Amino acid sequence: MGLSMTEQAARHVRETLAKRGKGQGIRIGVKTSGCSGLSYVLEFVDTPNPEDTAFAFGDVKLFVDPKSLVYLDGTELDFTREGLNQGFRFNNPNVKNTCGCGESFTT
């Protein structure tokens, strides 16, 4: 099982953690939400949970809880800028369907 991160995403996480002044990385997970069933959750990690799986990309770490890992296996985390909009993009090969607004998905 694994995840990957583009250099753009790693740079954004690195810069955000530097501005924040602390943190070991970010946790990516899923929660039940939206009209399709699941949505992504991101949060800063100051102290990893013992059950987290860590993925290192240079000096940037992604942490994933065991429940979420089955839904996120193979996912690439990217950071994109399109016009005035910017944000993380999840390129998840497990997604079978998304809702109309793009906020939730099913696997």
Structural domains of the chain sorted by starting position, each given as residue range(s) with its CATH number in brackets: 4-101 (2.60.300.12)
Total residue count of the chain as it appears in this document: 107
Closest CA to 5 of 70, 66, 59: 59
Band (16; pLDDT cuts 50, 70, 90):
very high
Distances (CA, A) of 92 to 7, 26, 69: 17, 17, 12
Look at residue 104 and give its three-state secondary structure: coil
Report the alpha-carbon distance of residue 98 to residue 103 in Å, rounded: 8
77, 9 contact by CB (below 8 A): yes
Task: Note the pTM of the prediction, 2 decimals.
Answer: 0.82
- Between 100 and 90, whose confidence is greater? 90
